[in-house]
Amino acid sequence: MTIGAVFLISFFQIVQNQDWGYQTVHDIGFVRAEDPVWLALLRTPLSLFVPALDLPVWGALGQVLLVFGIAEICLGRWRTLLVAYTATLAGTLYARVGLALGPDNPLGLPASDARIVDTGPSAAVVGLAVYVCWRHRARWTGTAVIVAMVVEVLVKNNLAGKEHIVAITAVLLVVAFQEWRDARRGPLAQLDDVEPPRPGTRSWKPPIKS
Written as one string, the DSSP assignment of 72-89 is: HHHH-HHHHHHHHHHHHH
What percent of the chain shows pLDDT beyond 70? 88
Q: What is the pLDDT of residue 201?
A: 46
Residue 188, pLDDT above cutoff 70: no
Q: How far apart are CA 110 and CA 100, in angstroms?
A: 9
pLDDT tops 80 at residue 196: no
Q: DSSP secondary-structure letter at 194?
A: S
Please state whether 208 falls in left (phi above 0), alpha (psi between -120 and 50) or beta. beta
> For all residues of the chain together, what is the average pLDDT?
88
Mean pLDDT computed over 103-115: 90
